[in-house]
Structure 1
Amino acid sequence: MEVTAAAWTATIGLVLLLLALDLAVGALRPHAVGFREATIWSVFYIGVAIAFGIALGSIAGWGYGTEYFAGYLVEKSLSVDNLFVFVIIMTTFAVPPEHQQKVLTFGIVLALVMRAAFIAVGAALLELFSFMFLVFGLLLIATAVQLYRHRDEDPDVADNALVRATRRVLPTTTEYHGGKLVARLEGRRVVTPLFVVLIAIGGTDLLFALDSIPAVFGVTQEAFIVFAANAFALLGLRALFFLVQGLLDRLVYLSTGLAVVLAFIGVKLVLHWGHTLSDGVPQISTPVSLGVIAVVLTVTTVASLAKTRRDPAAKAHAGSLRGSRPADPVEPPTA
């Protein structure tokens, strides 16, 4: 796929424009987001993503268009799991509702920056070394196994290495000071819980990038499509958070469904690597991948809602890549 400099510039410009709009709404005008506002913005961002895919398919061919929609679907489903962790972080640190938009928007900016770097590195590695398809495939399969094993657990955000390091190195306060990241107390500067929250979300974004980038490379090796699918899936994350936060607890089988999707894409990558060695090794086509992913996510959602209807006490979990361990609660030092 040949992508001109003008196409890259136009796509990045559109992403930056939408990001600036998100910043203006989420950071410059702090307020609690209602259901109606969240619905309008969610429909808007999904509409933009669909319109981009249709334009891409019309210009570059529907083979690439299918790859984009498959990648977008993978990234969107993984972003919902990301929302679980965002909810945990917001609850753990008791982020005031009027500042949650600001946290989410800056979290999305961090995610875009990190994923752009991972996309560049991943594309270069796949171009130079075909065995990286095997490495990425095995990484996704291992991730899927761990996610399935710990599907009924939640990650411990207080045990995040970056959060611990921040609290150890920087003086912190337990009190929020409006939307400030740094405040002055008793003559010295301290970081507020809002700063620690951003660190926690940044660490979470890093972990999710390690999974999502190999996953989307499993449905397309085109760096342009990988970037576009990630960007448009992430841009709607702020509005989606406020739209589905009441629904998240009902998606009890989401971690299981995502584990199946990651394992499937991992197998697809391993087969692709095998095909580079021998034409006798079968490959899984992009349309088949799109169909499998869509079916798994649909079945997961329907089964989750049916389960919670029968058992209202059932509660969903984000899933964890490692087992929980008993630990003493970590209290930030009081300034």
Structure 2
Amino acid sequence: MDVPAVVWWLTVIGIAGLLVFDFVFHVRKAHAPTLSEAAWWSAGYVGVALLFGVGVWFFGDAEMGVQYFAGYVTEKALSVDNLFVFLVIMSSFKVPRASQQKVLLFGIVFALVARTGFIFLGAALINTFAWVFYLFGLILLITAGQLLKPESEEGHSSDNLVVRVARKMLPASDTYDGDKLFTVANGKRVMTPMLLVMIAIGGTDLLFALDSIPAIFGLTQNVYLVFTATAFALVGLRQLYFLIDGLLDRLIYLAIGLAAILAFIGVKLILHALHENNVPFINDGEPVKVVEISTGLSLAVIIGVLVVTVIASLVSAKGRAQNAVSCARRHATEYLYVERDPVRREEIFRDLLAEEAAIRKLPEKYRARIRDEEKLMDLLRRAHAEHDSHAPG
């Protein structure tokens, strides 16, 4: 599908317009979105992405449509996994919930800019060096192996290299000043934690692109489809975060599903590289006769793996236990250290009580493990003590 320059510009302007609309009408005024608000807008952005895919199918052809949808679904799934890391970073920096929208929108815009650069770099490499498909396939297979390693929240450090450099270059305050990026402390202009958390998320966005871009190039080499599938997967991610916030930790098998998808695409890339081979030390530089995996089959495998992964996670007792514990930990931390509005604090404490009730309904083996987590139990005790100290009478 040869895309005219005017279509490129209209697409870029349309995506930029969606982001500007998001900022002006939702993010500029700090607030925590309700569940219904997040649900409606998430559905709206997904609907726009699907309609765009129908347009690609109609004005291009069926193969291009399948390539777009395969790329979009893969990028969306990878984005959900990225949301978990965003959640860990924002919890580490104790970002007030009303200000989290601004952090997320920054992360989305930075990710879109960074990945656009990687997309054009990847396209240039593919057009110049056929062996790049071998490299992309190897990257995806290594990433798939990394995803299978057990990892705790502590594995996602908020104090990454970029943050440490920023702290050295500019002084930072320990407290937030609304959603401002800079404030004045002791007569000096300093960074707020809000700017630091944006820097931390920006740094992780660069790492996310290392598996995201090779994955989608494994499904289509059409730069326009790669860009639009990536962009539409990112647009609306903010609303999705607030929609599935309470379920993020429940998706315990998501990493396994993503590992399977990335490994599958990695194999697909290597098979394609063999089919187009011109590397001298492989088959004397001649193409290798191998079976290539069609894009239609790729789309079916990707959707099938994600459906099985999500269903298995939602029905898992271990998933329920992990979700209840993670939510209780976050709400206790938010109640003790982040939120100062009395009404909002009371809402958070009610959520905490509901999560503790859910924990008490878990099988004994999970409750025993939770009781052995001293830091968690101490955090919950302090939250209750804090609430009791402010109770009337």
CA apart distance, 1:169 = 2.3
Q: How far does the alpha carbon of each residue in 1:241-295 deviate from its partner, in whole angstroms, 9 at most, with x for none? A: 0000101111010011111111111111011000012251111100000001001
In 1, the alpha carbon distance for the partners of 2:319 and 2:73 equals 29
Other-structure match for 1:8: 8
Task: Identify which of 304, 322, 337 aligns with 1:314.
Answer: 322
Q: How far does the alpha carbon of each residue in 1:200-241 deviate from its partner, in whole angstroms, 9 at most, with x for none? A: 110111111111000000100010000000100000100000
Other-structure match for 1:55: 55
1:287 aligns with 2:296: yes
Q: 1:300 to 1:60 in 2, by over 3 A?
A: same
Q: 1:161 to 1:280 in 2, by over 3 A?
A: same
In 2, the alpha carbon distance for the partners of 1:258 and 1:80 equals 10
Other-structure match for 1:102: 102
SS in 2 for 1:95: coil
In 2, the alpha carbon distance for the partners of 1:138 and 1:216 equals 14
Q: 1:253 to 1:96 in 2, by over 3 A?
A: same
Q: Percent identity?
A: 51
Matched AA of 1:312? R
* Structure 1 residues 194-273: aligned runs within 5 Å: 194-273=194-273
* 5+ long unaligned stretches in structure 2: 278-286, 327-393
CA apart distance, 1:189 = 1.1
* Structure 1 residues 51-130: aligned runs within 5 Å: 51-130=51-130
Deviates more, 1:165-174 or 1:264-273: 165-174
Matched AA of 1:284? I
Would you say the 8 A contact 1:307–1:314 is kept in 2?
no
CA apart distance, 1:311 = 6.2
* Structure 1 residues 151-166: aligned runs within 5 Å: 151=151, 155-166=155-166
SS in 2 for 1:183: strand
Computed over aligned residues only, the root mean square deviation of the Cα atoms, in angstroms, reads 1.5
In 1, the alpha carbon distance for the partners of 2:5 and 2:14 equals 14
Matched AA of 2:293? I
Q: How far does the alpha carbon of each residue in 1:75-102 deviate from its partner, in whole angstroms, 9 at most, with x for none? A: 0000000110111111111111111111
Larger relative contact order, structure 1 or 2 (CA cutoff 8 Å, min sep 6): 1
In 2, the alpha carbon distance for the partners of 1:161 and 1:257 equals 29
In 2, the alpha carbon distance for the partners of 1:152 and 1:300 equals 19
Deviates more, 1:117-126 or 1:27-36: 27-36
Matched AA of 2:276? T
In 2, the alpha carbon distance for the partners of 1:244 and 1:43 equals 13
* 5+ long unaligned stretches in structure 1: 318-335
Q: 1:80 to 1:189 in 2, by over 3 A?
A: same
In 1, the alpha carbon distance for the partners of 2:108 and 2:308 equals 28
Matched AA of 2:33? V
Would you say the 8 A contact 2:85–2:156 is kept in 1?
no
In 2, the alpha carbon distance for the partners of 1:14 and 1:312 equals 40
CA apart distance, 1:154 = 5.2
SS in 1 for 2:107: helix
SS in 2 for 1:184: strand
Matched AA of 2:254? L
Q: How far does the alpha carbon of each residue in 1:142-178 deviate from its partner, in whole angstroms, 9 at most, with x for none? A: 0110111235565332341111222222211110011
In 2, the alpha carbon distance for the partners of 1:128 and 1:18 equals 34
In 2, the alpha carbon distance for the partners of 1:114 and 1:191 equals 23
In 2, the alpha carbon distance for the partners of 1:101 and 1:71 equals 26
Would you say the 8 A contact 2:159–2:200 is kept in 1?
no
SS in 1 for 2:94: coil
Would you say the 8 A contact 2:250–2:319 is kept in 1?
no
Other-structure match for 1:333: none
Q: Structure 1 or 2: larger helix share?
A: 2
In 1, the alpha carbon distance for the partners of 2:39 and 2:261 equals 27
Matched AA of 1:196? L
In 2, the alpha carbon distance for the partners of 1:249 and 1:269 equals 31
Matched AA of 2:134? L
In 2, the alpha carbon distance for the partners of 1:156 and 1:188 equals 32
Would you say the 8 A contact 1:70–1:289 is kept in 2?
yes
> So what's the TM-score if we normalise by structure 1?
0.91
SS in 1 for 2:32: coil
Other-structure match for 2:366: none
In 2, the alpha carbon distance for the partners of 1:282 and 1:159 equals 45
SS in 2 for 1:189: strand
SS in 1 for 2:316: helix
Matched AA of 2:320? P
1:133 aligns with 2:133: yes
1:305 aligns with 2:344: no
SS in 2 for 1:145: helix
> So what's the TM-score if we normalise by structure 2?
0.78
Deviates more, 1:224-233 or 1:143-152: 143-152
Would you say the 8 A contact 1:151–1:256 is kept in 2?
no
1:33 aligns with 2:33: yes
Would you say the 8 A contact 1:148–1:256 is kept in 2?
yes
Other-structure match for 2:42: 42
